[in-house]
Amino acid sequence: MELKPSESLKIDTFSMRIDSIEGVELDRLHALSLSVGWPHRAEDWQFLRESGQGFVALDEIGRVLGSAMWFAHGADFATVGMVITSPRLQTLGAGQWLMKRVFEKVAGRDLRLNATRAARRLYLSLDFQPEKTVYQCQGIARVQTMGKPANNQGDVRSLDAKDIPAAIALDAAGFGVRRAGLIERLFAHSTGYGLFKGDTLNAFALCRPFGRGHVVGPVVAENDADAVAIVRPHVADHSGSFLRIDTHMDNGEFAAFLSHGGMPVFDTVLTMSMGKRLTDFAVGGAITPMTYALASQTLG
């Protein structure tokens, strides 16, 4: 596949040029995501810019008509996200043009992204392979119908900065890639609960402001009961307000807990990969942590 993109693209009756996302005003990025119905606030865009890199597509008068970002973790892996094109450009090749520019920057890395239904054809054409469905669960959180807490072999308590190294290690085991910088930034913007067995952190869940309310993620645990135990306090904290969780889990205790807690499935996206597949990142062992909820669809 020829991946060398041009520096500009002629679209219909006008041309677009590429630029770094770094210097673009946040209100212009916010307007772009609003144009496709995405919930990101300006503050969410700023967090993503602090966590990764990206491009924007600009027309002749400087309007932002597209974006694409990548988030590198080490020399061998990156996630791709915030690939947006203005609705009038979505069938005119702008998305592929932006992705080819991203490919230049992430050459040699294994890639993972979460594709909306509208974008799947684009990613399939670029040789991304389907992996797992992500269930976007959201709604007004409630605690009164969630049943009694499960009996867990451990104590659930709030997390603080001293717990970051253990959370980084758990996240790496569950996600398959060490994301130290991202987890540190998430801790700075989140509240967190962990399940401790003795002095050992066995599961954790972070929650931060996002979109219409708050998002819980990442959530890393060894089993459904532990995942429920560490998410339950976040649901209680935000009872009566909007809460969202993005998860690969479609059945079992954890999925039922989300639905009963006011967060039924609202939409789905598809995790796709290029290079190593999710199963290739699996960590051996009889009991290993799993990523029960993503940090976000963009970050994985």
pLDDT of residue 154: 86
**What pTM was computed for the model?**
0.90
- What is the per-residue pLDDT for 62? 83
Half-sphere exposure for 33 (CA within 13 Å, toward CB): 19
- The token pair that represents 154 in the structure block: 């451990």
Quick one: pLDDT at residue 299? 97
Can you say how many angstroms the Cα of residue 119 is from the centroid of all Cα atoms in its chain?
16
Contact (Cβ atoms closer than 8 angstroms) between residue 104 and residue 82: no
> Would you state the pLDDT for residue 12?
57
The per-residue pLDDT for 286 is 45
Residues of the chain short of pLDDT 50, as ranges, are 1, 146-147, 285-286
Domains of the chain: 8-108 (3.40.630.30), 135-293 (3.40.630.90)
- What is the pLDDT, as a whole number, of residue 1? 47
∠26-182-292 over CA atoms, to 5°? 110
| Per-residue pLDDT, 59 | 83
